[in-house]
């Protein structure tokens, strides 16, 4: 079942890349928040070598139990400041930098350069985390003071009820912001990556330029 789901996801990713005439890499990040350690391990053995959790407790549990496997670790959920110290030096990528205070705390606790995605609220939904488009550039400029933070890219989550046309608009907007930040040529913000697309919308995200897709339920569904 897991193998079948994995093959279906890979096939759909490749189709979306072909449709968009893309030959660069799209990182497949497996989100294991719904499943236990055994199933997360099975996902790695099936071929997904980048794993994400959205909560620090679940992250630490999986991280500790999977040290014998070769895994790139992602933290994707909003992170409370008081929990930064528990995880920030263990993750390879943090996808949800959404406030100046969180950046301050990361800077304070980091023992190495931390690769982050800055979260952008492209839709303006009140329930969504992330910077508004107007706040984004000043925030990135302010990060100049934080030598432990490297902005590898931008991340967004589309509204649950967005239709295909709206999804395309949100994702291509994020790509435009990414291109703007990238063209600033800031040494601490190369901003080459786009973390966008989940089970329900990753093909559209890939067509719009996603370089990291975060996929959970599509791996673990029962067909």
Ligand X SMILES: *Cc1c(COP(=O)(O)O)cnc(C)c1O
| Site residues, ligand X (CB under 6 A) | 31, 33, 54, 76-77, 157, 198-200, 214-218
Minimum distance of ligand X from residue 154's CB (angstroms): 14
How many other C-beta atoms lie within 10 A of the C-beta of residue 72? 13
Minimum distance of ligand X from residue 144's CB (angstroms): 27
Minimum distance of ligand X from residue 89's CB (angstroms): 21
Name which of 144 and 217 has its Cβ closer to ligand X.
217
Name which of 188 and 196 has its Cβ closer to ligand X.
196
> Minimal CB distance to ligand X: which residue?
216
Q: For 118, list phi and psi in degrees, rounded to 5.
A: -85, 125
Minimum distance of ligand X from residue 33's CB (angstroms): 6
The first and second tokens of residue 217, run together, are: 């339920």
DSSP state of 36: -
Q: Confirm if 120 and 156 have CB atoms less than 8 A apart.
A: yes
Name which of 9 and 181 has its Cβ closer to ligand X.
9
Minimum distance of ligand X from residue 200's CB (angstroms): 6
DSSP state of 103: H
**Helix runs in 90-213, H state only:** 100-109, 133-142, 164-183, 202-207
Task: Evaluate the CA torsion angle 175, 176, 178, 182 in order and state its sign.
Answer: positive
C-alpha span between 166 and 171 (Å, rounded): 9
Name the residue with tokens 């705390």: 105
Name which of 158 and 189 has its Cβ closer to ligand X.
158
Name which of 122 and 198 has its Cβ closer to ligand X.
198
């Amino acid at each position: 079942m897991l193998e079948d789901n994995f093959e279906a996801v890979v096939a759909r990713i490749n189709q979306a890349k072909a449709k968009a005439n893309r030959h660069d890499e799209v990182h497949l990040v497996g989100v294991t928040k719904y499943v236990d350690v055994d199933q997360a391990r099975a996902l790695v053995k099936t071929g997904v070598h980048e794993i994400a959790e959205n909560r620090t407790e679940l992250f630490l549990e999986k991280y500790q139990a999977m040290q014998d496997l070769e895994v790139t670790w992602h933290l994707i959920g909003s992170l409370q400041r008081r929990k930064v110290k528990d995880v920030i030096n263990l993750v390879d990528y943090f996808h949800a930098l959404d406030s100046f205070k969180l950046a301050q705390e990361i800077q304070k606790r980091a023992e190495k350069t931390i690769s982050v995605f800055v979260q952008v609220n492209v839709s303006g939904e009140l329930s969504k985390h992330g910077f508004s488009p107007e706040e984004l550039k000043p925030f990135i400029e302010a990060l100049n003071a934080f030598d432990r933070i490297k902005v590898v890219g931008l991340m967004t989550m589309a509204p649950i009820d967005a239709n295909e046309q709206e999804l395309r608009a949100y994702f291509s907007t994020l790509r435009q912001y990414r291109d703007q930040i990238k063209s600033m040529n800031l040494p601490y913000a190369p901003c080459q990556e786009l973390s966008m697309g989940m089970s329900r919308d990753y093909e559209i995200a890939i067509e719009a330029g996603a370089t990291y897709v975060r996929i959970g339920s599509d791996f673990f569904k029962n067909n």
